[in-house]
Amino acid sequence: MSDLREKIIQTSLELFDRHGFHGVTVKQIVQETNTSKGGFYHHFQSKDELLFVIHDTFITYVLKEAQAANVTHSSPIPKVQAIIQSFVQVFDLYKPHISVFYQESLYLKPAYEEEIKGKRDEFKRMVFNVIEEGQKTGHFRRELPLEITGMAILGMVNWIYKWYRRDGTYTIDQIAEVFTDLVLHFLLPGKEDSGYFRHMLKVPFFYESE
């Protein structure tokens, strides 16, 4: 990605966050980035495409990470952990993008909205597929309704954008460990024993103090 393209994105994120999508003009973006309209239109066809790119960046990231988890791991237990951890991480890596997404997603053009929705739906299917795989193989509790369980995970993680702060008490890595632990506890059958820790990619930080 070129330096100017990245500068336009970062500047637009700040402007959209402060003034809203419709409160910002291409002229303002050009002035704030110290470029020309030619420089802007060299990288983006329109302000609408710029908004789409902002949305698409973090959705593409979580989708690729989920795909990588499926390739890297053969068992659904490490798969779901890797997916949860990368999903949580996105709220730190792309915090401004996500903030703009929730504020301005209504302004996406239909064609862009459809593409974003397609990727979100694909990520949702991948989460559901891992849970279903684990239920079929006996790794996860079979009595849990698939759709409710999948939506519970997605809803729990998506809510991070409402409360996460980089200067908060816990780091994003620690938050990811807590969420992974919660998900494993309600997915894995039976009571906790020493075998539980053998399933984990990493023992969460809060167990170390016990």
79 shares its domain with 97: yes
Asked if pLDDT for residue 107 goes beyond 90, the answer is no
pLDDT band at 204 (very low <50, low <70, confident <90, very high): confident
Range of the domain at 50: 46-187
Per-residue pLDDT, averaged over 69-91, amounts to 96
The verdict on residue 196 lying in a domain is no
pLDDT band at 200 (very low <50, low <70, confident <90, very high): confident
The verdict on residue 141 lying in a domain is yes
- Rounded to an integer, what distance in angstroms lies between the CA atom of residue 104 and that of residue 15? 12
The verdict on residue 206 lying in a domain is no
13 shares its domain with 97: no
- Rounded to an integer, what distance in angstroms lies between the CA atom of residue 136 and that of residue 144? 12
The verdict on residue 192 lying in a domain is no
**Least confident piece of the model among 35-44, 88-97, 172-181, 184-193:** 184-193
Asked if residues 94 and 61 have their Cβ atoms less than 8 Å apart, the reply is yes
The verdict on residue 52 lying in a domain is yes
100 shares its domain with 181: yes
95 shares its domain with 135: yes
104 shares its domain with 171: yes
Q: What are all long-range contacts of 104-108, with beta carbons under 8 Å and residues at least 24 apart?
A: 104/16, 104/20, 104/21, 104/51, 105/55, 107/21, 107/22, 107/48, 107/51, 108/48, 108/51, 108/52, 108/55
CATH assignment at residue 112: 1.10.357.10
- Rounded to an integer, what distance in angstroms lies between the CA atom of residue 94 and that of residue 99? 9
145 residue type, one letter: P
Q: Which pLDDT belongs to residue 194?
A: 59
Total domains present in the chain: 2
DSSP state of 191: -
Q: Which pLDDT belongs to residue 72?
A: 96
30 shares its domain with 61: no
Per-residue pLDDT, averaged over 158-166, amounts to 93
3-class secondary-structure state, position 200: coil
Asked if residues 8 and 43 have their Cβ atoms less than 8 Å apart, the reply is yes
26 shares its domain with 113: no
Tokens found for residue 130: 């891992």
76 shares its domain with 146: yes
The verdict on residue 89 lying in a domain is yes
- Say whether pTM exceeds 0.75: yes
pLDDT band at 209 (very low <50, low <70, confident <90, very high): low
15 shares its domain with 86: no
